[in-house]
Amino acid sequence: MDAMQVEKDKKVPVTILTGHLGAGKTTLLRRILRNKLGLRIAVIENEFGNEIGIERLLANVSVTDDADDDQAAMNEVVTLNSEDLFIELSNGCVCCSVKDSLVNTLETLLEKNRNRFDHIVIETTGLADPGPLAGVFWLDDELESDLKLDGVVTVVDLANIEARLNDTKANEAKLQVAYADRIILNKRELVSDQAFQSAVARLRSINPFAPMEATSYGKVDLQFCLNICAYDSSRLKLRGELFEVDHDPTVKSVVLRREDRPISVKKLRDWIGLMLWEPPDGLEIFRVKGVLWGVDDEEAVSGDVPVRIIQGVHKIFDIERLADTVKWADVDEAKPITKIVVIGRGIRPSVLKKQFQEAL
């Protein structure tokens, strides 16, 4: 069995693929549909307008050195349902466009083809805010849906990303970076080393925890994009030290820390809820992610304190106690600590840090 192949699960993982117009999402989709890893993938194009995304996807598929494989796949395309625009490739992958609503498309896909694929990739429009969509799938996971959120993958155009981020009239590019669990730095061949480092620093100032991968023409290892289990508590790691770079006046991140004593889980839950649902004027939180040295009110502060993690996306969040067998070294920490990354708009780091310390 290929290393990419995972044990069958009753829930189908969903990857949200986002990125600004022209970043290279469709090029990456072509690679996903041609994957030779034994994964049967359902790709859903969620674009505006009347253009049929599948026809565009297949008509332009032969654009790389894999052209022979592309043409072979095209020759074996079989239409499953022309009315619903479901198309099957020879490797078992399925592609479709959203004609009605995304929910209805997913329901149809699950009803008609549930046993024919292992993973769903939803390509959002380049003007989309992925936050609400990610929140829906994560909430569905908690409600015992057949789907589970695997992660948000954002493709950025290195040649134009800083201009996109500097656009004061549009925030989509910033939001797509803020919500990302993986960031693909595409079109590396078009920028100098200096421009590349500048772009990385800018992206890190918005999202300090999402792993990044530089590439050209969307040639990225699919293991970087799929089955990443970004919301699996057992895999949460903050990848060492997180440094704040105050680059962006609107969307930015802050790292909240406490290492002198355990915190109250109840107080943290109340404070995070207040920040999400009744925020001060100008504050909007997109992502929360971290490890907690925390105790419930009934737990003693002395002795071993279990590792807890916090995850939040859009307006929902969850705090989970990990198994007693999980040690701090398992989450890349040398000692007990509370370390939470908050990404949002209108963040004033000094104010948020002060409120955090006072609330706990």
Q: What is the pLDDT of residues 138-171, one digit of tens each?
A: 876 655 678 889 999 999 999 999 999 988 877 8
CA distance 354 to 273: 17
Arithmetic mean of pLDDT, 24-52: 74
**Residue 234, C-beta contacts closer than 8 angstroms, at least 6 positions apart:** 322, 326
Share of the chain above pLDDT 90, in %: 39
Are 135 and 221 in a shared domain? Answer: yes
pLDDT band at residue 6 using 50, 70 and 90 as cut-offs: very low
Tell me the sheet residues that pair with 123: 17, 45
The structural domain count of the chain equals 2
Residues 200 and 239 placed together within one structural domain of the fold: no
* Confidence at residue 235, expressed as pLDDT on a 0 to 100 scale: 67
Which of 231, 265, 294 finishes a domain?
231
2, part of any domain: no
109-140 per-position pLDDT tens digit: 777 766 777 898 988 876 678 888 888 788 76
114 and 45, same domain (yes or no) = yes
| Statement to judge: residues 65 and 128 lie in one domain | yes
Q: Is the torsion defined by CA of 275, 276, 282, 284 positive or negative? A: positive
- The per-residue pLDDT for 145 is 72
Could you tell me if 215 and 255 lie in one domain?
no
- For the chain, give the mean pLDDT: 79
Among 202, 231, 260, residue at a domain's last position: 231
pLDDT on residue 46? 66
30 pLDDT above the threshold of 90:
no
Task: Indicate the pLDDT class of residue 250, thresholds 50, 70 and 90.
Answer: confident
Please check whether residues 222 and 282 belong to one and the same domain: no
Tell me the per-residue pLDDT of 253-294, one tens digit each, with 9 for 90 and over. 999 999 999 999 999 999 999 999 998 888 999 999 999 999
β-pair type (12-19, 119-124): parallel
Q: Is residue 111 part of a domain?
A: yes
Same domain assignment for residues 78 and 207: yes
Show the 3-state SS of the chain.
CCCCCCCCCCCEEEEEEEECCCCCHHHHHHHHHCCCCCCCEEEEEECCCCCCHHHHHHHCCCCCCCHHHHHHHHHCCEEEECCCCEEECCCCCEEEECCCCHHHHHHHHHHHHHHHCCEEEEEECCCCCHHHHHHHHHHHHHCCCCEEEEEEEEEEECCCHHHHHHCCCCCHHHHHHHCCCEEEEECHHHCCHHHHHHHHHHHHHHCCCCCEEECCCCCCCHHHCCCCCCCCHHHCCCCCCCCCCCCCCCEEEEEEEECCCCEEHHHHHHHHHHHHHCCCCCCEEEEEEEEEEEECCCCCCCCCCCEEEEEEECCEEEEEECCCCCCHHHHCCCCCCEEEEEEEECCCHHHHHHHHHHHC
Q: Do 147 and 287 share a domain, yes or no?
A: no
Q: What is the mean pLDDT of residues 31-59?
A: 64
pTM: 0.82
Residue 222: CA count within 13 A, CB half-sphere: 23
Lowest mean pLDDT among 30-34, 117-121, 159-163, 248-252: 248-252
Give the count of alpha carbons within 13 A of 297, CB side only.
Answer: 5
Supply φ then ψ for residue 259, to 5 degrees: -135, 5
Residue pLDDT, tens place only, 301-345 = 555 678 999 999 988 999 999 888 888 888 888 899 999 999 999
Which of 21-30, 243-252, 344-353 is predicted least confidently? 243-252
Is pLDDT at 18 greater than 90 in this prediction? yes
**Same-domain pairing of 227 and 239:** no
Q: Tell whether 181 and 266 lie within a shared domain.
A: no
Confidence bin at 224 (pLDDT 50/70/90) = very high
Specify if 7 maps to a domain: no
The answer to whether residue 56 is domain-embedded is yes
Averaged pLDDT for residues 209-218: 93
In a domain, 115, yes or no: yes
5 falls within a domain: no
Min mean pLDDT across 12-26, 29-43, 132-146 is at 132-146
**Are 309 and 284 members of one domain?**
yes
User: What local confidence, expressed as pLDDT, does residue 245 receive?
Assistant: 54
User: Where in the sequence is the domain holding 158, given as residue range(s)?
Assistant: 12-231
Distance CA 180, CA 16 (A): 9
**Same domain for 45 and 132?**
yes
Residue 68: predicted pLDDT: 41
Last residue in a domain, options 231, 254, 276: 231
**CATH at residue 251:** 3.30.1220.10
Q: Is the dihedral of CA 227, 232, 236, 242 positive or negative?
A: positive
